[in-house]
Amino acid sequence: MEPDSSEDDGTAPQARARARPIRSTVALDGDGSCIAEARQLAAMFLVRARTEYGLPVSARAMDLTQLVVSELVTNARKYAPGPVLMDLRIVDALVEVEVWDSDPVLPVARAADAQRVGQHGLEIVRAVSRGFEAQREPVGKRITARIALTDGPDTDVTGGGPLRT
């Protein structure tokens, strides 16, 4: 999995990143090791965005992206047979994590329940993401979460959105 790259044409890395999207797509086989593989690939993608394109990527963005990837790929593996597709893109100051699986049923956040063990993945993803979408596809569904690349003064402690006071 490697993001699109451009040859050294003398332009600044950030200008190249805006002119040519930084993107990486991978097909995961859906076995038990695909979750760890997806987390590792997401981390490598963000390291390359930082080193090759000069984009700022905070430690929080790195951690939250790996968390979101882990939750989305885990759900895809748990509820849908077959492979999982993961697409990572840098869009403006966000990393978009998109996961496709073969199950057309859209995820639904459950009511808060402190006694419930597990099944909090969607709640977690929505809490730490700047944006979240779930849409049916001709085959299966596509889940997209957007995470801020940097920590700004208008970001709450989870990195999920504007600070609410």
Amino acid at 111: A
Q: What average pLDDT does the structure give for the chain?
A: 83
Amino acid at 63: D
- The pLDDT of residue 108 is 84
- The pLDDT of residue 137 is 96
- The pLDDT of residue 62 is 97
- The pLDDT of residue 10 is 54
- The pLDDT of residue 109 is 77
In this predicted model, which residue has the larger pLDDT, 109 or 134?
Answer: 134
Residue 46 has pLDDT above 80, yes or no: yes
Q: How confident is the model at residue 6 (pLDDT cuts 50, 70, 90)?
A: very low
Residue 161 has pLDDT above 50, yes or no: no
- The pLDDT of residue 110 is 74
Q: Is the distance from CB of 93 to CB of 64 less than 8 angstroms?
A: no
- The pLDDT of residue 33 is 86
- The pLDDT of residue 64 is 98
Gap between the Cα atoms of 30 and 102, Å rounded: 11
Q: How confident is the model at residue 164 (pLDDT cuts 50, 70, 90)?
A: very low
Q: How confident is the model at residue 32 (pLDDT cuts 50, 70, 90)?
A: confident
Q: Is the distance from CB of 88 to CB of 97 less than 8 angstroms?
A: yes
